[in-house]
Amino acid sequence: MGNVYSKSSIENLKNTVDIVDVISRRVELKRAGANYKACCPFHKEKTPSFMVSESRQYFTCFGCGEKGDVFQFMMKYYNLDFGEAVEKLADEYGIRMEKKGRSDDGLTRLFEVNRLAARFFYNAMTSGPNPGYTYMRGRGLSNSTMKKFGIGYADEKWSSLYEHLKKNGVSDKDMLDLGLVSQKNGKCYDRFRNRVIFPIINTSGKVIGFGGRALEKDAQAKYLNSPESRVFLKKNNLYGLNITRGNAVSSGYMILVEGYMDAISLYQHGVENVAASCGTALTEEQARLLKRYTKDVVLSYDADAAGRKAALRGIEILRKEGLGVKVLHVTDGKDPDDFVKMYGKDAYLDLVGKALPYAAYKLESAKQRYELGTTEGKIAYLREASRIISALDPVEEDQYKRIVADDQGVSTGVLTREIESIRNKESKKAEKTRSTSQPADAQAEVQDVELTRVEKNLIRLFMMDSKYLDRIEKEPDLIESPFALKLFVLARDRIKKDGTVDVRSMTDELTDAEQKVFMDIRENVLIDPQQKEEFFIQCRNAHEADKLRSEERALSAQLDMAEDEEIISELQRRLMSVRNKILSLTGNA
Ligand SMILES: [Zn+2]
Structural domains in the chain plus CATH codes:
7-93 (3.90.580.10), 107-232 (3.90.980.10), 241-348 (3.40.1360.10), 370-432 (no CATH), 439-589 (1.10.860)
187 DSSP β-pair partners: 184
DSSP for 360-394, written as a single string: HHHHHHHHHHS-TTSHHHHHHHHHHHHHHHHTS-H
Is the confidence at residue 437, as pLDDT, over 50?
no
Query: 168 alpha carbon to ligand 1 midpoint, in Å?
Result: 51
In DSSP notation, 193-218 reads -SEEEEEEE-TTS-EEEEEEEESSTT
pLDDT at 349: 95
- Tell me: pLDDT of 430 over 90: no
In the structure, what pLDDT confidence band is assigned to residue 501 with cuts at 50, 70 and 90?
Answer: confident
φ, ψ (nearest 5 deg) of residue 194: 50, 50
Across 69-78, 513-522, 530-539, the highest mean pLDDT is recorded for: 69-78
Q: Examine the pLDDT at 165 and tell me if it is beyond 60.
A: yes
Going from the C-alpha of 501 to that of each of 34, 494, 534, the distances in angstroms are 14, 6, 23
- Calculate the CA 178 to chain-centre distance: 23
Centre of ligand 1 from the C-alpha of residue 495, in Å: 27
Residue 441 confidence (pLDDT) above 50: no
CA distance linking residue 110 with residue 52, whole number of Å: 39
| Residues 384 and 359: beta-carbon distance below 8 Å | no
Per-residue confidence (pLDDT) for residue 438, from 0 to 100: 38
Exposed/middle/buried for residue 128 (C-beta within 10 Å: 0-12, 13-18, 19+) = exposed
CA 65/CA 73 separation, integer angstroms = 13
Residue 333 is predicted with a pLDDT of 64
Q: What are phi and psi of 490, to 5 degrees?
A: -60, -45
The confidence score (pLDDT) of residue 148 equals 95
Q: 67 C-alpha vs ligand 1 centroid, how far in Å? A: 9
**Model confidence at 254: pLDDT above 90:** yes
Residue 587 has pLDDT above 80, yes or no: no
Q: What is the pLDDT of residue 355?
A: 94
Q: Could you tell me the pLDDT band of residue 1, with boundaries at 50, 70 and 90?
A: low
Contacts of 299 (CB under 8 A, 6+ apart): 256, 311, 314, 315, 318, 325, 326, 327, 328
* CA 25 to ligand 1 center in whole angstroms: 18
| pLDDT at position 436 over 90 | no
Can you tell me the distance from the alpha carbon of 358 to that of 320, in angstroms, rounded to the nearest whole number? 13
Question: Rounded to an integer, what is the distance from CA 150 to the centroid of its chain?
Answer: 26
**Which of the two residues, 204 and 467, has the higher pLDDT score?**
467
Greatest mean pLDDT among 63-67, 233-237, 328-332, 410-414: 410-414
Ligand 1 centroid, distance to 321 Cα (angstroms): 13
CA–centroid distance, residue 487 to ligand 1 (Å): 18
Q: Averaged over 226-253, what is the pLDDT?
A: 88
> What 3-state DSSP class applies to 350?
helix
Q: Rounded distance, CA 574 to CA 572, Å?
A: 5
Query: What's the 208 CA to ligand 1 centre distance in angstroms?
Result: 34
**Do 434 and 519 touch, CB atoms closer than 8 A?**
no
Please answer whether residues 211 and 239 qualify as being in contact, where contact means their C-beta atoms are separated by less than 8 angstroms: yes
Ligand 1 centroid–CA 18 distance in Å is 20
Looking at residue 322, its pLDDT comes to: 85
* Exposure class string for 171-183: b at 16+ Cβ within 10 A, else e: eeebbebbbbbee
Ligand 1 centroid vs 404 CA: distance in angstroms?
A: 33
Q: How far is the centre of ligand 1, averaged over its atoms, from the C-alpha of 320 (Å)?
A: 15
Å from CA of 300 to ligand 1 middle: 30
Q: Measured in angstroms, how far is the CA atom of residue 45 from the centroid of ligand 1?
A: 8
In the three-class reduction of DSSP (H, G, I as helix; E, B as strand; rest coil), residue 409 is classed as coil
Residue 241 contacts residue 289 (beta carbons within 8 Å): yes
Phi, psi of 153 (to 5 degrees): -135, 135
Question: pTM of the entire structure?
Answer: 0.59
Provide the pLDDT for residue 42: 93
Q: Which of 454, 467, 443, 455 is nearest to 533 (CA)?
A: 467
* Alpha carbon of 122 to ligand 1 centroid (Å): 46
CB 566 within 8 A of CB 221: yes
- Measured in whole angstroms, the distance separating CA 149 from the mean position of its chain's CA atoms is 24
φ, ψ dihedrals at 399, nearest 5°: -60, -50
Mean pLDDT (whole number) for 542-562: 81
Q: What is the model's pLDDT at position 439?
A: 41
Highest mean pLDDT among 136-150, 222-236, 272-286: 136-150
Task: Note the maximum CA span of the chain.
Answer: 79
d(CA 327, CA 239): 19
∠ CA 203-208-212, nearest 5°, is 115
Predicted confidence band at 589 (pLDDT cuts at 50, 70, 90)?
A: very low
Query: How far apart are the CA of 40 and the centre of ligand 1, in A?
Result: 4
* Confidence check: pLDDT of 449 > 90: no
**pLDDT reading at 149 higher than 90:** yes
- pLDDT at res. 121: 97
Q: How far is it, in rounded angstroms, from Cα 215 to Cα 139?
A: 12
Mean pLDDT of 99-119: 82
Estimate to the nearest angstrom the gap between the alpha carbon of 130 and the chain centroid.
39
Distance, CA 448 to ligand 1 centroid (Å)? Answer: 12
Lowest pLDDT segment from 158-167, 238-247, 367-376: 367-376
pLDDT score, position 138: 94
Confidence (pLDDT) at 59: 92
Q: Residue 54: which pLDDT band, with cuts at 50, 70 and 90? A: confident
Q: What is the reported pLDDT for 195?
A: 96
Q: 50 CA distance to ligand 1 centroid (A)?
A: 6
Whether the pLDDT of residue 588 is over 50: the answer is no
Q: Which residues contact 58 (CB under 8 A, 6 or more apart)?
A: 19, 52, 67, 68, 69
pLDDT of residue 167: 95
Cα–chain center distance at 94? 33
Q: What is the pLDDT of residue 434?
A: 58
pLDDT the model gives residue 103? 55
Mean pLDDT of 219-228: 85
Pairing of strands 324-328, 296-300: parallel
Write down the pLDDT at residue 446: 30
Residue 401 CA to ligand 1 centre (angstroms)? 29
Cα of 23 from ligand 1 centre, angstroms: 14
Asked if residue 487 has pLDDT above 50, the reply is yes
How confident is the model at residue 97, as a pLDDT? 83
Average of per-residue pLDDT values in the chain: 87
- 38 C-alpha vs ligand 1 centroid, how far in Å? 10
CA atoms of 289 and 248, how far apart (whole Å): 12
CA 29 to centroid of ligand 1, rounded, Å: 14
- The listed range with the strongest mean pLDDT (92-96, 162-166, 427-431) is 162-166
193 Cα to the center of ligand 1, angstroms? 50
Long-range Cβ pairs for the range 44-49 (8 Å, 24+): none
- CA 63–ligand 1 middle distance (angstroms): 5
